[in-house]
């Protein structure tokens, strides 16, 4: 099981996981440090805690997996207990939860000590983990889940994009479909988190492409409160929106676009000293570069002063042109010509319902202004509809000046 923050070691051609997509979205340069350069980060206690708890959850739930579960890909079946090789000398048997003492033994063996800032912090986390697991075990005694898979590693090609992920648990739902569940050890968790979770969305895509049954529900399980935060599966448009975002990440990686994107994430980024955004200029280059920077700054100031002067002069010419009703103003070495740029706008929120009501359907792509104007002029379309479409439009005129270099003879 992979608690949030775990880094998968992948190269640019490898499948994308939820966490690698999220890392790239935050900062492509950081993604490169982690997934291409394979730099490792200092372990943090919080992640070690998550790994330890998830590892015990896996051992605890594995015996409950229903052996008949089969994946849709031939030859690929979910590991049942027989195929699962416990590493900690656990004595697990099918259909049975570990006893309290077995659970604590599993927890001791699975405990990851890395990254805690003090023994006091480590023991605080360890007590918290034991408490969560014991309370969760008691809850499972009351109500047994029916997992068909525990931590399956699922892979898929999502319309050309290879993706993968480890899913904490997949259950058989009440309606015969599948329920996806992800455990969270975080302090706070809300239903909104479950609604907005890209992780759950990617899991839904993975499950839909690996199992024949539909996904019935998505759950983030908050271990501290033992509260399942369940939401309905994502609809088509949410999945398409996510696909576009994952596609942007995939395209960026393929194009080796790894520019740093500084932001709040930099405060917890360990690669700052290596990052071009923060790397220091070598001492022997500083003087020369400082002169260039000063020159750049002076030129920029002049540019801004010129821009402002240009704008004020154009505005004064406009006022004079409006007042006199002229479009050509001669100077001593050229003529200023007043030109206009006209833009028509038809807001789709007004246009689309009109077209739908008229039985013209929602266009697959947003209508261009030219297409709307063609429609307004098209005599084969109902005149009343054309009038109403025309009424949604607004016209914006932008005036600007051009210079005719020749002296105006008129």
- Distance in angstroms (rounded) separating the CA atoms of residues 313 and 99: 85
State the minimum distance, in angstroms, from the CB of residue 353 to ligand SF4.
Answer: 44
From residue 31, alpha-carbon distances to 11, 21, 396 in Å are 10, 9, 44
Residue 96, phi-psi category: left (phi > 0), alpha (psi -120 to 50), beta (remainder): beta
Q: How far is the CB of 36 from ligand SF4 (least distance, A)?
A: 12
Q: Residue from 262, 331, 347, 353 that binds ligand SF4 (CB under 6 A)?
A: 262
The whole-angstrom separation of Cα 159 and Cα 380 is 40
- The site map against ligand SF4 for 13-32 (x = CB under 6 A) is --------------x-xx--
Q: Would you call 49 exposed, middle or buried from its count of C-beta atoms within 10 A (0-12, 13-18, 19+)? A: buried
Q: Give the tokens for residue 45.
A: 């206690």
CB 66 within 8 A of CB 77: no
Which listed residue (21, 61, 269, 336) binds ligand SF4 by CB under 6 A? 269
CA 102 remoteness from chain centre? 40
Nearer residue to ligand SF4 within complex by CB, 265 or 394: 265
Total length of the chain: 410
Site for ligand SF4 in 105-144 (CB under 6 A): none
Helices 198-210 and 236-254 meet at what angle, rounded to 10?
Answer: 100
Measuring CA to CA, how many Å separate 136 from each of 22, 49, 185?
29, 16, 12
The least CB distance from residue 266 to ligand SF4, in Å, is 3
Nearer to ligand SF4, 77 or 248 (CB): 248
Q: Which of 147, 271, 355, 372 binds ligand SF4 (CB under 6 A)?
A: 271
- Of the pair 8, 31, the CB lying nearest ligand SF4 is at 31
Site for ligand SF4 in 328-387 (CB under 6 A): none
- Pick the binder of ligand SF4 from 36, 81, 266, 354 (CB under 6 A): 266
Candidate residues 71, 272, 386, 388; the one interacting with ligand SF4 per rule CB under 6 A: 272
Residue closer to ligand SF4 by CB (options 265, 313) is: 265
Contact, 184 vs 221, CB < 8 A?
yes
Q: 30 vs 184, which CB is nearer to ligand SF4?
A: 30
CB of 31 to ligand SF4, least distance (A): 9
Stretch that binds ligand SF4, among 16-24, 98-106, 268-276, 386-394 (CB under 6 A): 268-276
User: How many Å apart are CA 289 and CA 378, to the nearest integer?
Assistant: 62
Q: Which is nearer to ligand SF4, 63 or 260 (CB)?
A: 260
- Please count the other Cβ atoms lying within 10 Å of the Cβ belonging to residue 176: 9
Q: Is 121 exposed, middle or buried (0-12, 13-18, 19+ CB in 10 A)?
A: middle
Separation of alpha carbons 314 and 58, rounded Å:
71
Subset of 30-69 contacting ligand SF4 (CB under 6 A): 30
Candidate ranges 49-57, 82-90, 255-263, 388-396; the one touching ligand SF4 (CB under 6 A): 255-263
The secondary structure element, H or E, covering residue 243 is helix 236-254
Considering the complex, state which of residue 26 and residue 102 has its C-beta at the smaller distance from ligand SF4.
26
- Toward ligand SF4, which CB reaches closer, 228 or 263? 263
- Residues at the contact surface with ligand SF4, assessed by CB under 6 A: 27, 29-30, 260-262, 265-266, 269, 271-272, 275, 277-278
């Amino acid at each position: 099981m992979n608690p949030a923050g775990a880094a998968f070691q992948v190269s640019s051609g490898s499948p994308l996981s939820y966490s690698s997509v999220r890392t790239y979205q935050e900062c492509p340069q950081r993604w490169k440090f982690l997934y291409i350069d394979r730099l490792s980060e200092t372990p943090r206690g919080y992640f070690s805690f998550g790994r330890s708890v998830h590892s015990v959850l896996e051992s605890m739930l594995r015996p409950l997996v229903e052996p008949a579960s089969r994946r849709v890909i031939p030859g690929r079946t979910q590991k049942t207990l027989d195929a699962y090789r416990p590493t900690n000398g656990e004595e697990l048997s099918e259909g049975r939860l570990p006893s309290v003492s077995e659970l604590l033994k599993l927890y001791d063996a699975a405990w990851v000590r890395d990254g805690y800032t003090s023994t006091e912090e480590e023991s605080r986390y360890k007590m918290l983990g034991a408490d969560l697991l014991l309370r969760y075990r008691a809850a499972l005694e009351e109500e047994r889940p029916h997992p068909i898979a525990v931590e399956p590693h699922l892979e898929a090609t999502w319309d050309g994009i290879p993706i993968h992920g480890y899913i904490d648990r997949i259950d058989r739902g009440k309606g015969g479909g599948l329920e996806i569940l992800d455990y969270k050890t975080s302090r706070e968790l809300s239903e909104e988190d479950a609604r907005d979770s890209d992780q759950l969305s990617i899991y839904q895509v993975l499950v839909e492409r690996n199992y024949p049954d539909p996904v019935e529900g998505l759950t983030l399980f908050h271990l501290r409160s033992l509260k399942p935060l369940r939401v309905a599966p994502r609809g088509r448009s949410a999945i398409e929106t996510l696909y576009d975002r994952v596609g942007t990440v995939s395209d960026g990686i393929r194009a080796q676009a790894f520019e740093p994107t500084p932001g709040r994430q930099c405060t917890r980024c360990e690669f700052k000293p290596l990052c071009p955004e923060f790397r220091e200029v070598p001492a022997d280059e500083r003087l020369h570069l400082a002169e260039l920077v000063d020159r750049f700054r002076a030129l920029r100031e002049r540019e801004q002063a010129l821009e402002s002067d240009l704008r004020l002069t154009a505005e004064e010419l406009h006022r004079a042109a409006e007042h006199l009703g002229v479009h050509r103003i001669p100077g001593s070495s050229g003529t200023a010509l007043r030109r206009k740029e006209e833009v028509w706008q038809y807001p789709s929120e007004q246009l689309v319902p009109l077209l739908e009501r008229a039985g013209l359907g929602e266009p697959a792509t947003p209508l261009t202004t030219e297409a709307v104007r063609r429609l307004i002029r098209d005599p084969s379309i109902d005149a009343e509809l054309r009038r109403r479409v025309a009424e949604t439009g607004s016209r914006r005129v932008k005036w600007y000046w051009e210079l005719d270099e020749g002296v105006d003879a008129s």
